[in-house]
Amino acid sequence: MTFCTLTPDRAPISIAGRTLQDPFQAIGAHLRFDAGEEIYAQEANADLLYRVLVGSVRRTRLLEDGRRHVGGFYFPGDFFGLEIGGQHRSSAEALDAAQVLVIQRSALKYHGEDGARVEQMCWLATGLELRRAEDHMMLLTRKSAFERVSGFLFEIGAPARGAWTQLPMSRQDIADYLGLTIETVSRMVTQVQAEGLMVFDGARRFRVLQHTRWAYLTAA
């Protein structure tokens, strides 16, 4: 995707009675992507910064042997596309109809205080991304298949507090993210339902039950 000059979304925010401008909203371009549409390609130039407004995004890396690794999922408010080098090590695709804010990082110096604030936000987001990578590595090396799947579902569904949650990703996406086969993911979904920890309505719609027990199991 090449950078396009679009009309930025400049909706103000209110904090403690003061109307402030979100710097990313103030200078970011508003882009829309259909489900499955590529946002940026693996090895593409990494000068653009992204933040999810609506929908969800999947980060994917194609390995040399042809296998696919899903490196993360991003939801409204999340930054993505942050790289240390000049190229993206992964690609990013919209999981559903998504709206994304995009900013050209090399141009931040021309945006004064807003640009400086965005740069600071990006450094904080980079630190969060590093912590996520560390947590993901521990999950892959220390957790059982049941702990991986149940923990993933609890993280996605717990904020709904018992309401129904729609998974935007497929079970193959979950398997590639958790380092499991799709058959193992399906078995673990059956197991957590059998234990009364959650209930599914179809392949992707589910709700969390027994939040206290879930929190105990996934923290173990």
pLDDT score, position 125: 87
Query: Which residues of the chain have a pLDDT value below 50?
Result: 1-20
Tokens representing residue 43 in the block? 């090895």
What's the pLDDT score for residue 2? 28
pTM score: 0.82
pLDDT digits (tens, 9 = 90+) for 63-105: 888 889 999 999 999 999 988 888 999 999 999 999 999 999 8
pLDDT confidence of residue 17? 40
Residue whose pair of structure tokens reads 């609506």 in the numeric block: 54
Residue (of 159, 192, 196, 197) closest to 174 by Cα position: 192
pLDDT at residue 4, as a whole number = 30
Could you tell me the sign of the dihedral formed by the alpha carbons of 127, 130, 136, 138, in that order? negative
Coil, strand or helix at 189: helix
- pLDDT of 45: 93
Report the run of H or E that residue 165 belongs to, with start and end: strand 165-166
The pLDDT score that the predictor gives to residue 8 is 33
pLDDT at 199: 93
Residue-wise pLDDT for 179-190, tens only, equals 999 999 999 999
Token pair 């900013």: residue: 103
Provide the H-helix boundaries in 143-210.
145-157, 171-178, 182-194
